[in-house]
Chain A
Amino acid sequence: MLLCKDRIGGLLLLIFSITYGLLSQKIHLLPFQANSAFHARTMPEVLSVLAIGLSVLVILFPGSDERPRFAGLNWGLGAAFLVLMSTYGFLVRPMGFLLATSLFLMVGFALLGERKLWRLVAVAVPTVFAFWALMTYGLDVFIEPLPKFMRG
């Protein structure tokens, strides 16, 4: 099978390994370092050669001929969750932990099929408050709870 799982993965990792190998040449070395038997570039250079070789071997000799099956999986939902997590990362500071996390969880529940608003709120909000209280008062880990405009 030309485009089996192993070959696709091998190809992706080959691209990564070549990029890594090229970037390894940009590691800055001082003149006295360049002459030593082992310097900051040695390991990356060896690893990139190894990885390129192994990727090529995976492409040439795939372990199985199984083709990837994209059908029947909720790819859109997976992508939506990736966006949701990334957005959470951007908003957790300006929005504060309580609001950002409650929203993250509520949107997450809704994306996975929960339609009742009261349930979204009833599960997310008390848990987030309890978690924040446990971290702040129980484990002494301070997390900014409030949005930026409400902070003193």
Chain B
Amino acid sequence: MLDGILIGLGTALTPMNLIFVMIGCFVGTFIGMLPGLGPMSAIALMIPIAATLEPSAGIILMAAVYYGAIFGGSTSSILINAPGVASTVATSFDGFPMAKQGKAGKALAIAAYSSFSGGVIAAIFLLVAAPFLASVSLAFQSTDYFALMVLGLTAVAAFASKGDVLKALLMTVIGLMLSTVGTDQTQGVPRFTLGILDLTDGISFLLLVMATFALSEALIAILKPNDDAKRQQEKEASSQLGSMAVSKEEVKEMVPVIGRSSVLGFLIGVLPGAGATIASFLAYGTEQRMAGPKKGKLFGKGSVRGLSAPETANNAAATGSFVPLLTLGIPGSGTTAIMLGALIGYGIQPGPRLYIDQPEVFWSVIVSMWIGNIILLVLNLPLIPYIAKVLAIPSRFLLPFILFFSLIGVYFVSFNTFDIQLMVLFGAVALLLRFLDFPMAPMILGFILGGMMEENLRRALLINNDSWSFLWERPLTLSILVIAGLCLVVPMLSPLFAKMRKAKQSETPTGD
């Protein structure tokens, strides 16, 4: 492990890679701060640039953008109560009330220290867990990988919000369907190309991500009419931050919260399909319950614990989501799904072999997480008053730029104008589906895993002489599939159980 850390340090601490971490953190914070644009859009926007770099540098850049965007999202949550991403919604519960009390600077500092601690502690867990899991997963065969991918996809549904399980599953299947467009890899047969030559190579992953996130988010902002009062509030908030000093008592209050939330966040982040949002809400709820009735009442009114818990947990979960990506090649979240696509674009197949074949990529990602967190704290925190000025850029200038960067990002990869037209079409469809509250992240996950899933299934059948018996004869495959089945069934049945419980309770006499 020490060798690995040294390899990682050697790669991540080269002057160029350090510059990429700094740029990534800065750009990520900048983009993440814009309401509506989250880590997924930020990473998607960086892929065309990362594609021109060598793999380690590209991945380091994207990891830094990821952290920066989460940090930036917290900033807009605290300053203007407009979370850039779902994972920072819980941050606004206590961060914004603090800002309203004239303690925006303090709130930002608490968020930054918590994020830093959560990220660093989780990176230590990652350091231990990833190589261990990678060595265990070396025993995996293509049948197990197929089962793991099914688990990854069904887990998305398990963690979908109440009532959205079916929609999440449907969108996952739609993503799988889109992944089948293009020439079939094994038999060389064109599928769903509609006679269009530009579709022979399939739909570009970058195109789909840009269209469904960056483009559709900018379009959603365009659809919403301007709110002058809100903009004024944004300007005021970004100009008056107050002191950034955190008192000793506040630090004392934060330390145990950070410890608990880091562990919780990391463990939730490791689960495929869960992620920073669930981690942040769970950490917030846990701390509120643990605070007792007296201190619990302060939650939602500017509590230090209420701000520290979700901030720690979401960063720890972001780090945790790298575990399944780096060790099994299965993305734990929408964001890591995009990173998986980028890795595949480099010709790197994440999974247990990554640890052995390309240790410099594996370890430099882990080490760059520490460096990224340090840079976020040392460089971005003092710069926050200046970066926050981005919130004052009029949207009439900002939105066309976001659209332009999305379009040109895709065009620069293929230099094919058909891609721009396809992107506009996907952007319009994504806009409609998002308007109808259909989630996009499961679709991206399905799209990324679709090709690999088909390939592994085909290989498994080939090894087993075209027999499907491997699904139940190999214990590991069967176990994973059973877990996948449970992930699928439990969330669907839980509303039914809840209804039954309610009905039972209403039938029980109250006793008066």
Q: Residues of A with Cβ closer than 8 Å to B?
A: 5-6, 8-10, 12-13, 16-17, 20, 23-24, 27-30, 33, 36-40, 43-44, 47-48, 50-51, 54-55, 57-58, 61, 63-64, 66, 68, 72-75, 77-78, 81-82, 85-86, 88-90, 92-93, 101, 104-105, 108-109, 112-114, 123, 127, 135, 139-141, 143
Contacts and interface: CB of A to CB of B under 8 A. Distances in A.
Given A73-B223, A89-B424, A23 B192 contact: yes
Contacts of A24: 191-192
A133 B287 CA distance: 51
A63 B397 contact: no
Interface stretch (B160-168, B319-327, B501-509): B160-168
A127 B189 CA distance: 45
A127 B191 CA distance: 41
Contacts of B166: 54, 57-58, 61, 63
Contact of B169 (A40, A54, A82, A86): A54
Contacts of A127: 401
A97 B287 CA distance: 53
Contacts of B399: 108, 112
A58 B167 contact: yes
B253 interface: no
Interface residues of B, number: 63
B53 to A, nearest CB: 9
Nearest to A85: B424
20 contacts: A9-B438, A17-B174, A40-B189, A43-B180, A43-B454, A44-B177, A47-B176, A50-B173, A58-B167, A63-B163, A63-B166, A64-B163, A64-B437, A68-B435, A85-B420, A86-B421, A89-B424, A104-B400, A140-B52, A143-B412
Contacts of B396: 109, 112-114
Given A78-B219, A105-B401, 9 more contacts: A9-B433, A13-B174, A13-B438, A33-B187, A47-B180, A73-B225, A82-B428, A86-B421, A105-B404
B302 to A, nearest CB: 32
Contacts of B404: 101, 104-105, 108
A63 B169 contact: no
A47 B436 CA distance: 22
Contacts of A40: 184, 186-187, 189, 191
A77 B223 contact: yes
Given A54-B166, A57-B166, A90 B454 contact: no
Given A13-B170, A64-B163, A113 B437 contact: no
Contacts of A66: 437
A50 to B, nearest CB: 5
Nearest to A113: B396
Nearest to B175: A47
A28 B187 CA distance: 10
Contacts of B127: none
A12 to B, nearest CB: 8
A55 B222 contact: no
Nearest to A39: B187
A76 B148 CA distance: 45
A6 B436 contact: yes
Nearest to B399: A112
A36 B222 CA distance: 51
A90 B407 CA distance: 12
B80 interface: no
Interface in B188-216: 189-192, 194
Would you list the 9 A-B pairs with minimal beta carbon distance, nearest first?
A108-B400, A63-B163, A89-B420, A112-B396, A37-B466, A9-B436, A40-B184, A54-B170, A40-B189
Contacts of A109: 396-397, 400
A139 B407 contact: no
A74 B222 contact: yes
B374 interface: no
Find the residue from B173, B403, B421, B423 having the highest chain A CB count within 10 A: B173
B260 interface: no
B122 to A, nearest CB: 32
B420 to A, nearest CB: 3
A16 to B, nearest CB: 7
B286 interface: no
Contacts of B176: 43, 47
B167 A63 contact: yes
Contacts of A10: 170
Contacts of A92: 411, 417, 420
A27 B424 contact: no
Contacts of B408: 101
Nearest to A69: B435
Contacts of B52: 139-141
A40 B49 CA distance: 34
Interface string B378-398: 000000000000000011110
B224 interface: yes
Contacts of B427: 82, 85
A60 to B, nearest CB: 10
